[in-house]
Structure 1
Amino acid sequence: MPIQAPLPDFCTDPGETFTWPQPLTELPLVAVNFDPEALRDEDFARTGIAMPANLQRAVAKRKAEYLAGRLCAREALQQATGVGAIPGTSEDRAPQWPAGSVGSITHSDGRAAAIVGRASRYASVGLDMEWVMADERAVKLAGQILTDGERKRFARALKERPGECLTLAFSLKESLFKALYPLTLKRFYFEHAEVLEWQEPGLARLRLLTDLSDQWRNGQELDAQFLHRDGQLISLIAVARS
């Protein structure tokens, strides 16, 4: 299904399909490639999306990320709910999804994506997209992203393919934050969750290491999924409505 309004030159039409290891129904994902250098401020008006005040003086990269992400979100909302609305922005800059829907937006150096579901089926979703980092950078960042338990648990992977290992852990924790923050409104960081396991073809499990609310407490575990895509890792956590 094409995006509703004609897309400006800075952004490609969404053409990719994404198949998760454990398919999730009624949860469309829309992704595009974009080029910040080709963005023009009038592209916001052309697509019917207002430029937020805090982006008026921002660099082209930030503007392009925002616009590409909102274009994906509008199309995903159209596919999931039949209404192609534009998510607002809350005071903490998180997307504000229309009543009856939940979603998540991500972008990473020239690519943007959004995933949306009905709130009657999903309590929340978290989506993250990351380019696989270089091995040398991964080795330097491991202490900031991994807990001691994770470093022991994934010692072999860290030695053999540190870039992929650390990128996956980073992305899974980002998806966890995006999924749980709307439910708890409490920020948490890399040391407050740990990856227990992951396996091909793209299944993982995480555990909270802090209390976020009465419902989401230290020790609670969640399932996640991930995909390899042209040098990127895409991770997803979908919290089903109980």
Structure 2
Amino acid sequence: MASEQEFIRLSEQRGSAEHGLLQLAADFHLDAFQPSLFSLCGIHCPATIAAATRKRQAEYFAGRWLADRALNAFGIDRFTLLADAKRCPQWPEGLLGSISHGDDKALCVTASRQHYRAVGVDIQRRISAAAAAKLQQRILSPSEIQLLAHSGLRHGDAVALCFSAKESIYKALYPIVQRYFGYRAAELIAIDPSRSQLHFAISPELADLPGCPSEVKLLYEQVGELLRSSLLLEH
């Protein structure tokens, strides 16, 4: 019989529902995952996930497990957190949120729309210099590459953080703009290592849309071998 306690445990809590922003993290163990945990814990398993690999099922379960606890904190029980065609979770009225996961860690940020207009969180594993050299050609402009080179950050970490930040930006802004956009739609324009902050300019094509900001600042941090970014856009 699958055991919830053997598979996953809450490892971190920041903020509170009372103050309109709750960030949760959990550690999970793939070897201890069983698909029966979905029914055991009352978490909906879409057909696409049921047909996916065991690893994908475990990651999905971990993210929804955290979201369920976050929603409970906001006074919402037994909510089925479905996703749209772009895999964007459809949060209850009055709330917004974001989910991410690494190989053995899941993150979830949930916020009140009364206080926040966009939130996005992402976690990535640290990468080698060789992997960073390939990745930066796909997601970064020459000016961004130059900026990262003078950031004082390890090159692999700098590129992975920028990738993570652009993922967080997409998760935060997609519900506002309701359209797909690529990595070049957000341009890194400044890094502040003393504040662990990344500053991005949003392309005019997006920024001209109702509710979309022209610039955003994200926080970043390293947690073991994982790198985390978060965009918390207040009203």
Q: TM-score normalised to the size of structure 1? A: 0.86
- Given the alignment of the two structures, is residue 168 of structure 1 paired with residue 161 of structure 2, yes or no? yes
Q: Distance in 2 between matches of 1:77 and 1:168?
A: 28
Is 2:148–2:159's contact at 8 Å kept on the other side of the alignment? no
The alpha-carbon deviation at position 26 of structure 1 amounts to 2.6
- Given the alignment of the two structures, is residue 9 of structure 1 paired with residue 3 of structure 2, yes or no? no
What amino acid does structure 1 have at the position aligned with 2:6?
A: D
Q: Distance in 2 between matches of 1:30 and 1:165?
A: 24
Q: Deviations over 1:207-236 (max 9, x none)?
A: 11241252366x911121112211211111
| 2:173 alignment partner in structure 1 | 180
Q: Distance in 1 between matches of 2:190 and 2:218?
A: 10
Q: Distance in 2 between matches of 1:157 and 1:191?
A: 20
Q: Distance in 1 between matches of 2:13 and 2:140?
A: 31
Is 2:148–2:155's contact at 8 Å kept on the other side of the alignment? no
Is 1:193–1:210's contact at 8 Å kept on the other side of the alignment? no
Q: Distance in 2 between matches of 1:57 and 1:221?
A: 39
Is 1:8–1:43's contact at 8 Å kept on the other side of the alignment? no
| 1:3 alignment partner in structure 2 | none
Q: Distance in 2 between matches of 1:141 and 1:68?
A: 27
What amino acid does structure 2 have at the position aligned with 1:110?
A: D
Which of 100, 108, 115 does residue 106 from structure 1 map onto?
A: 100
Which of 87, 105, 115 does residue 93 from structure 1 map onto?
A: 87
What amino acid does structure 2 have at the position aligned with 1:108?
A: G
Q: Deviations over 1:176-229 (max 9, x none)?
A: 111100111111111111111122331221111241252366x91112111221
Q: Distance in 2 between matches of 1:189 and 1:153?
A: 20
Gapped regions of structure 2 (runs ≥ 5): none
Q: Distance in 2 between matches of 1:69 and 1:47?
A: 13
Higher strand content, 1 or 2 = 2
What amino acid does structure 1 have at the position aligned with 2:7?
A: F
| 1:44 alignment partner in structure 2 | 38
Q: Distance in 2 between matches of 1:170 and 1:196?
A: 14
Q: TM-score normalised to the size of structure 2? A: 0.89
What amino acid does structure 2 have at the position aligned with 1:92?
A: K
Is 1:130–1:234's contact at 8 Å kept on the other side of the alignment? yes
The aligned length equals 227
Q: Distance in 1 between matches of 2:197 and 2:189?
A: 11
Q: Distance in 1 between matches of 2:129 and 2:151?
A: 11
| 2:200 alignment partner in structure 1 | 206
Q: Distance in 1 between matches of 2:61 and 2:5?
A: 10
What amino acid does structure 1 have at the position aligned with 2:209?
A: D
State percent identity of aligned pairs: 30
The alpha-carbon deviation at position 7 of structure 1 amounts to 2.7
Q: Deviations over 1:157-181 (max 9, x none)?
A: 48x7211110111011111111100
- Local SS of the residue matching 1:187: coil
Q: Distance in 1 between matches of 2:13 and 2:105?
A: 14
Is 2:20–2:111's contact at 8 Å kept on the other side of the alignment? yes
Q: Distance in 2 between matches of 1:108 and 1:163?
A: 17
- Given the alignment of the two structures, is residue 29 of structure 1 paired with residue 23 of structure 2, yes or no? yes
